[in-house]
Structure 1
Amino acid sequence: MNDHIEPFVLEIPDSELDELRDRLRRSRLPERETVSPSADGTAADWSQGVPLAYLTELARFWATEYDWRRFEAEFNAHAPHRTEIFGLGIVFLHVRSPRHDAAPLLLTHGWPSSVVEPLEVADALANPADAGAPAFHVVAPALPGFGPSGRPSTTGWTVDRTADAWAVLMERLGYERFSAAGGDWGGRVTTALGVRHPERVEAIHTFTPYVDVPSEEGDLDERERDGLTEAREFWERGGGYSLEQSTRPQTLAYALSDSPVGQLAWIVEKFHDWTDCGGHPENAVSRTRLLDTVSLYWFTGSAGSSARFYWENFPPERSTPVHVPAAVTVFPREMERLPRSWVERRYRDLRVWSEADRGGHFPMLEVPERYVAELVGAFAAMRT
């Protein structure tokens, strides 16, 4: 087994930057949506997908003003490394804290996010402004099939296998015991780590505690009923992307790998629908960060391989009990805000339950200071 760890540099050739700009200039766009904006023209109607006017402007900015080299420099300044695990190249950020009392933290992203998310919070976790707050050595790997990690050429890269790979990664880095956090697929991997490697995992945190839906709701308060109503609306009307990626990822890959505008729309729609944005995605996440995320998918060609992560884990596992200490933060615009009583049936040692006042499905990008505070507070509480 090759257990070598080597520095990694993200550097896309100029020719690929030029090709992207050329493709964007030659995009063949459809007609506009048939629904209309608000009467005063201030709010677009996203009910049929990304409005043409907004996507056209965003693609223009991507082609003419967006600076990919700025992102490369930021990424490469956060100690990216690469190692091979189970035959696949895994790229990860490794931001070590200057504090002697820092503890290792494994931070995993989901879809359609990327290592752009942990990049946003790694410095604050490694070197908090409050000298009395816990500090962390942050390890943030890119999921298999998500750039810049390798794209699997065979089946089998499930959540469980990924969790096992992350355990190997932390061992190679010298971290025998560690905490773990993440949301979306990152939350599932984090939970699987707690299930499969409880002797290695001190505690976990997630903002997406996926659990089975019980046959009876139980006694819920008004806030819980409201969250459950919105979750059901998402299950009924918002899951088309998931079904497609879970069942026909290869077919989808042809379109998204060939069209940067298609890739842009596929991802930006989720930043509108799943964030605490008040109707416009850039109210929650900056245009630059949106395009950092889309560009990373585009340049690494990972539209299809990231979608196959859904196929590998369909239907996703929600029932195995978790016995390691756990913490959950509920962000108000998260799509699946489930009752605490449901969550406690799976997470048997749930020690911290927190409800934030802002944020959605991408809290590392939307409310990074609050996300860091949630992690710091949760892990500090679980140490006592």
Structure 2
Amino acid sequence: SLWNPALAPQVTGAGLRVAGTGNFCNGMFVNSQNFATAANNCTPGVSPYGKYIVKAPKGDFAPRFGIAWDPFGKGTTSIRMGYGIYYDQILNGWYEQMIGQNPPYQETFTVNNSGSGTVATTPRLDQPVPTGIPVTAGASLTALNIRSIQPQWKDPYMQHWSLEVQHLLGAKTQVSAGYFASKGTHLIGAFELNEIQPGVALRSQCVANGSSSTLQTPGVATVACQAPGTYFGGSAGGVSSNILDQIRPFRGYRSITVLAPQFNSNYNSLQMMGQRRFTGASQIAVAYTWSKNLTDNISDRSDAPSNSYNIRLDRGRATLDRTHVFTANYIYEIGDFRCGRIAIRIVVHSYYKL
């Protein structure tokens, strides 16, 4: 991590920040020549990767090869094997969101319309803050939510391999059976960096004012950060989790969402297929797949581990896992009506040309 705990703001026993202490751009990079760093207690860092914000791997090796073998030399049986590595790339939107949404670079102000309806006091696109309208500006005093990307980056990749046997039964029937598998490594996913370890809230004491990040103070009444039998959440029955800001690993922040390539997946399957050709282009085909898809995170941003300290606890069947898949299809050639009436021949031949 690029965050330095020695540069964190100093806090009194009453939970108040000591003025002039702390670097609010601790571990952050600022891409602006006009950012007033001194006035904002913000001394940004310099990326150790030059013009990049993460260390991009340069040794990605992606070999791919395949083998086909006719064991009997009759042209009726084929054994096929293949293997390949395929790399993925992160969406640019994640970088853009961090640039535009993370504090302290995002300021909020409120414009209250006076309601007079005059040109001079009504907000317009060319005059969003007209003269005479009261404006309230300033940063929120609540704990901040941060989005970030792991600097020690590793490109996510997939390995695919297969072994299949194909055989012809006569001139018009083909059957095949094969083992197809894949493994995902360093897959992209989000996790909560500022998460409290399970059970800590039940064993800790917090100031009753849960909306603040006040530290425990001698002589100030405290309560259990989490009462037994309760849970945190916005749904009915859940209590506010703001009180947990007092005991989070990184005080002064609430959620720190980190995008990191640290998840994995496995897919194994048995795939069988049969195809029968008839006169002309008519044919019928059936296919069956028996598979199992395991992962510890199903998406690159929408889901996160239930326990960021042990992500393997979430390992299980993926939501897109389908154990059994059976498909069947057929093609029936209706002919070209060469012996039919001339009107039918014209219509059918015109359709085929399309």
Same fold, judged at TM 0.5 (above)? no
When the two structures are superposed, what TM-score results if normalisation uses the length of structure 1?
0.23
Greater radius of gyration (CA): 2
As a proportion of its length, which structure holds more strand? 2
Higher relative contact order (CA 8 A, sep 6+): 1
**Greater percentage in helix:** 1
